[in-house]
Every structure is written in structure tokens, then in C-alpha cells.
Structure 1
Amino acid sequence: MLVHTTLAFTPQRVPLGILHQQVWTRSPETYGKKHQRKKRAITEKESQKWLNSPEAARTIHKESPDTLVISVGDREADIYELFHHASDYPQSCHLLVRAAWDRKVEHPQKYLWPSMETQPVADTFEVIVPRKKNKSERSAHIDIRFAPLTLLPPQNKSRLGPLTLWAVYVNEPSPPHGEEPLSWMLLTTLKVESLDEALCLVNYYSVRFSIELFHKVLKSGCTIEKRQLQTAEGLIRCLALDSLVAWRIMFLTMIGRAVPQLPCTVLFGEHEWKALYCFINTTKTLPLFPPSLQEATRLVARLGGFLGRERDGFPGTEVLWRGMQKLASISAAWFAFGPHTV
């Protein structure tokens, strides 16, 4: 069973909710027929999922037409039909996709990457590349270019005609020896006429990696891949519940950083924050006012093993997931044996 989830995020990476979730299975009859994919319509391919996601975003946009809504996709979303459909989007509803194909363009260089490399460097800046499994943290000097361009359709899709988009090219020209250079070629329906607008789109695209965090919580925390149910319908229902749990963990992680001064009652029920406070502080005396959201988040993280040392920074999804699991039992005990039962 395969899943494609569309999440709504703010530019500050706060997850607002699940917009759409597609679930399907692959028919055994399609195995070994990958070579026929170019002859099939987009509606007959799994790639259709990328067209469905922006449609879900457009539905939300209708309820808030003054909000800028940008559908972000990785290299798998570099589909010509997707950009063609975007021409019908409202003015404040746009696409931002990382390019995968060196497409033909109306330019003397003929192709996307060579044509963008001829554009002047708008700015050079330094970024920190986080540590990975076998790689240490490092700094990288990045060039950024942007320009409008006209994509030419693939030969088998000539009926769709050319498309005018904007490209933002972020590239590390001289990576350290043995390191893969950082390189993003972003295509967007938004106009990019200044360096600030280009940098803003780079930041928007970086938010996309939050969906990987959602999948991590769904797989590692909720263990959705280990569920053993008798029917696909049961698994789909379980997926819906686990997805909401994963979203809540992510929301708790980020909202506590974005607006830490909010009272914790915006996310925690009365029995939850009271049980949490008394359990962590080993007291029966409640505070006059509920803790702030940041304080409550750290209390939950302590349940999950977070030490809260000076250099530990903000608690992450893993300790919050473990903490929320324990809080469920503590809250149930509060319901059964708390002061209100006396």
C-alpha cells in the first residue's frame, strides 16, 4: 500500500494540518511494463498524485483567497502536465518544484541547466550543511541565479505548448574534495524579479523537508508499517488516525517554538496539563495559571527522556512522541484518581 500526503505548512515550518491523503496499491499486472509509461496518459499513472495535491491546495485557497498558497514538490513532481494545469490557477495560488529534467528551453543554450548557468550571479552566501551519517557538518558557499524562461514541451506532449516560468538556480560551484555539491534548480509560477524574492522561494522550498519528518514520525513513532490488520480498509482507517497523531506531534514541536508564550491550553486538555505538571514536579499543588506552551512542551519532552541541558536546544519529535505516549497513561490516571474524584 502506497501513501501520498499533502500537508499545509507556514513559512516558519508550523504544520497547519493534513489537506489530502491518497492511498493506493499497485496491480501485479503493471509489473515489468515501466517501458510503456510514455504511452500512457497521466491519469493512468501514479504521477497523477502530483496533480491531485495542488487541487487540494486550491480547495483550501477558495476558503482563504487572500492567502498566498504555494504547492511545493520535489524532483518527482517535475511533470510537464503539472505546470500546464497551473496556468489555470488563481493569482495567489502557485507551484514551486525542484527540477529533475534538463528540459528544452527557448534560449541559445537550448537546455535548462546550461541556460541558467549563463545568467549572472545575483549573490553568493554561506550556508551550514548539517551533519549526516558519515559526513561532518560543513559550510558551503552558494551562488544564486534567477531568470524567466520558456519551457518547450516534450515531443510526445507537443499539444500542451510552451510554458513561461521562472527559475531559481542555487549551486555550490567549488565543493570540498569528496563532497557532493549542493544544487537546486527550482521552477515556479511565481514572478522572481529581485534577490529577496529568489531567497524567499529558496526558503519556501526548504520547508518541503518537513514532510520527511512527518513520515519519520508516522513510521518510527506510530509504526504504521508494522500494523497487522486483516483488511486494507482497516489499515486505511488506522493510517488516518496515525496521521493525525503524527501531525499533532509535529505541531507541538514547532508551535512551541513559533509562539512559546501561548497558554498550553491551546493544545492540551485541562486533565492533560494538570496531570503533566503534578507528575513532573511531584506535587499536588497546581499553579494559579496554566503553564505556557513552551513550558508544557518541555515537560512532555522530559517524560520522553529530554534532559534540557544548556546546549540541547529545542526538544525534537522523537522525545515528544515518547513523552506523549506516557502522558496518555498519566492523564488517564488523573481522570481516575485525581483531586476531583475525592
Structure 2
Amino acid sequence: MTAENVAAQDLVLCVGDTTFLDYGSIVAKKEGYGPIGKGGNGLILHSALAIEPKNGQSLGLLWQKLWNRESKPKPPENETSTQKKQRQAQARKEARNRPFEQKESYKWVEALTTIENLTSKYTRVVHVFDREGDITEVFDKVRQLKHTGVLVRAAHNRSLDQESERLWSKLLAQPISFEQEIELPQTGQRSARKTKLAVRFCQVNLRTPYRFDNRDPLPVYAVYATEIGCPEGETPVEWMLLTTEVVADIQTASLILRWYTYRWRVEEYHKIFKSGCQVERYRLAAEGMKTLVGFLSVIAVELLQLTYLHRTQPSAPAIEILNPLELKILKAKSPKPPKLLTVNWAVEAIARLGGYLEHRSKTPIGIQVLWRGWLKLHDLCEGWQLAKET
């Protein structure tokens, strides 16, 4: 459905990210789950979220992958420290020699190829990845695809086509082209703030590793942004962005920075998925859980669209986020619906279905109350449809 919706777009962004779903407290139904993080047990979810490039609104999911890792065999009893080192070295060697398609990092390339085949050939899709997606296979695959581009935050100080030159030193040698203000959202490592970035950019050629058959350099553009006047106690922002899009002027470099900030949408999506839909609270066998994750994924996208429009365009018509039947049900459940049905009214009406207390006007509408209201609205719509059919 999302692929059909974006078919009318000339350009769409696709932000990708991976999250862990922890079901460590499940004891009786552990088969089908696997190790995650530090001693956890659960599933791994990778999401590719389509984003409208002008305003950053979510358009839906283009692709998802859900899997579990295999548990490692227990070490032999009475293993000596020397034997342990030998066993671990052998395991690392086997991991390095595995085909790329069998590694978890293949998800980045798999997203590129799957979405290329899924979307219209008239729609250009630019994938936006954080540092985990900075692998040579991504850039190599993009040069084989016809209507796919990529924007990745660099994790490695790569060697360029000139042997003595590295990525960071190349960009630091460039003059500052412009300054740009951006809004940084709150995370576990920093508080929300507005900041100013000094921006440099130029074209670079990434050296291709020997493991590739095609050793031609990978031509990309680098946009390097560093924070000016970082507040005391905060870590300064430093983004080295690599893109296959042509960055020939200040306007395009500024656009690349804005596109990268949209990557936070997929983090918001995963947050809604966990805190709103509460996907980690269910206690199902793995196969049933994987089915439920697919169902909840769609609802989480709808909630992301709802909360974003409520934050950015509260006066927009409610029909932008609800269908006619949903509006009809909400009007019937509201004591005094206004003549102009706005996004703000719709969100408050859905929240009331979820138990939001209006007299607590200073209490913000939380994602959990929206989740409960959204489910109730869907139940009411389904009941109306069933009554109509009978």
C-alpha cells in the first residue's frame, strides 16, 4: 500500500533503523527467540519508513524485517583459558568468512534492492541511514540500481582514492561554506535544543576494498557539519554525511542536512511501537509474536502520522488523517463537535476514547492514551460495518 501511495511522488526518502524487542521474561515459550544486547532474549526488527521529503511526514512502511539470532552453544566443561581463546578466535574467523547475504548487515543492502523492485521506476528513493549503515556494500549496490540513492552518516575515516588522504582530513581542509540552525530532539544522551552548525562539503572518491570485484573508486559527496557554541556538559554535534546525491551548491548541502534530521522519524516510530503499542508486554510464542508485530507495525505508523500532524499542523482538516467513517464515528461520540473538524479536534476526540480526562487540560496527551483510543475507534468502525452488513 505504501509503495502505491508513493508512486505519485518524484522523490521519497526512506529512513532505516534497527531496534531490539526484549522478551527476556518469557520462560516457557523461548523457542524462536534469541539473544539480544547484553544477556537479553527477544527479536530484532529493522524498519524502512517512507518519508515525504518536503515536510518530513511519514507515508508508511516500505519494508520490514523481523528475525531472531541463534543461541550460541554452551562452552565445553573444564575449558581452559587457552582453549577459550582458540575457540573464540575460530568463531570470529568463521563469522568473517560467512557469505555477506548471511550476515545481519545484509539488511541494509536488502532494503535497497527490495524497495527498488517494489516502487515505481518513476519514483527516486533516497535511503537515509545512521552510522551502522556505513558499509561499502551499500555504496557498491547503489551504483548498480537505477532509481535509488543513499545518504549515510559516516562511521569510518575512510581512505580516499589518493593513498595519503583520509575522509576527515579532506573535509577539514575545505572552507566553511555556510551555517545552519537545526532543532535537536531530546534523546537519552542529550536534552532538546536549537543549535547552529558550520557546514563544509565537497566530492570525494571512496577507496573500494580488495574483496570487491569492481575496484573502481566510489564517487560520493560529503557534507560535514560541526556544532558552533555547544552548551557546557553536552556532546557537540558532528555529522559526516556521505551521499550519492549531487551536492554542487549551498542549497543542496542544506537540503541534505534537513533530510538527515528526518532519520529521527524512524526512532520516533520505534518509540511509539514500544511505549504506545507496548509490543514488549505481550507473552506469546515466537511465531504468534511475529504475526502480532506485523499487525502492531501498521498501527504504530498511523499513530506516528497522527502525532506528527498534531504537532506541526493542528489546524489542518481532520480528513487528512481519518477516513469518512472514522470521522462519522468520532462525531457521534463527541458531545459538541465543531463545524470545522481539525486534526487537533480529532486527536483530542481519539484521546477521549482512550480515557483522556479533559478537565486535566494541562496534562499533555500521551501516546498510550492515543493507542487505546485508536484501538477503540477501530473496534467501533468494525462494529458499524458488521451492523451494516447484517
Normalised to the residue count of structure 1, the TM-score between the two structures is 0.82
Residues 319, 205 of structure 1: alpha-carbon distance in 2 compared, 3 angstrom cutoff: farther
Once the 2 structures are TM-superposed, how far is the Cα of residue 252 of structure 1 from its aligned partner? 2.3
Query: Residues 39-188 of structure 1 correspond to what in structure 2 (within 5 A)?
Result: 39-61=97-119, 63=120, 65=122, 67-90=123-146, 92-107=147-162, 110-131=165-186, 136-157=191-212, 160-188=215-243
How far apart, in 2, do the equivalents of 1:249 and 1:163 lie? 39
Once the 2 structures are TM-superposed, how far is the Cα of residue 158 of structure 1 from its aligned partner? 7.3
> Is 1:8 the equivalent of 2:50?
yes
> 1:280 aligned to 296, 312, 334, which one?
334
> Is 1:21 the equivalent of 2:64?
yes
How far apart, in 1, do the equivalents of 2:206 and 2:261 lie? 24
> Is 1:202 the equivalent of 2:257?
yes
Deviates more, 1:170-179 or 1:74-83: 170-179
User: By percentage of residues, which structure has more helix?
Assistant: 1
Paired residue type of 1:3: L
**Deviation string, structure 1 residues 274-301 (Cα, Å, up to 9, x no partner):** 34234332x6xx77x7834443233224
Contact 2:277/2:368 (8 A) holds in 1: no
Paired residue type of 1:19: L
Residues 255, 130 of structure 1: alpha-carbon distance in 2 compared, 3 angstrom cutoff: closer
Contact 1:102/1:113 (8 A) holds in 2: yes
Once the 2 structures are TM-superposed, how far is the Cα of residue 178 of structure 1 from its aligned partner? 2.7
Aligned length: 328
How far apart, in 2, do the equivalents of 1:68 and 1:308 lie? 48
Contact 1:264/1:296 (8 A) holds in 2: no
Contact 2:313/2:343 (8 A) holds in 1: no
How far apart, in 2, do the equivalents of 1:162 and 1:181 lie? 31
How far apart, in 1, do the equivalents of 2:359 and 2:250 lie? 39
Normalised to the residue count of structure 2, the TM-score between the two structures is 0.73
RMSD: 3.4
Q: Which residue of 2 aligns with 1:215?
A: 270
How far apart, in 2, do the equivalents of 1:149 and 1:245 lie? 41
How far apart, in 2, do the equivalents of 1:78 and 1:130 lie? 23
Contact 2:180/2:254 (8 A) holds in 1: no
Once the 2 structures are TM-superposed, how far is the Cα of residue 156 of structure 1 from its aligned partner? 4.6
How far apart, in 1, do the equivalents of 2:183 and 2:165 lie? 33
Query: What SS class does the counterpart of residue 341 from structure 2 fall into?
Result: coil
Once the 2 structures are TM-superposed, how far is the Cα of residue 247 of structure 1 from its aligned partner? 1.2
Bigger relative contact order, structure 1 or 2 (CA pairs below 8 A, ≥6 apart): 2
Residues 308, 93 of structure 1: alpha-carbon distance in 2 compared, 3 angstrom cutoff: farther
Once the 2 structures are TM-superposed, how far is the Cα of residue 332 of structure 1 from its aligned partner? 7.2
Contact 2:160/2:167 (8 A) holds in 1: yes
> Is 1:235 the equivalent of 2:270?
no
Residues 126, 83 of structure 1: alpha-carbon distance in 2 compared, 3 angstrom cutoff: same
Once the 2 structures are TM-superposed, how far is the Cα of residue 114 of structure 1 from its aligned partner? 1.3
How far apart, in 2, do the equivalents of 1:150 and 1:130 lie? 32
How far apart, in 1, do the equivalents of 2:121 and 2:63 lie? 17
Q: Percent identity?
A: 30
How far apart, in 2, do the equivalents of 1:202 and 1:261 lie? 27
> Is 1:320 the equivalent of 2:370?
yes
Residues 310, 164 of structure 1: alpha-carbon distance in 2 compared, 3 angstrom cutoff: farther
**Deviation string, structure 1 residues 161-215 (Cα, Å, up to 9, x no partner):** 4211111111115423332110111111110001110111111111111111111
Query: What SS class does the counterpart of residue 27 from structure 1 fall into?
Result: coil
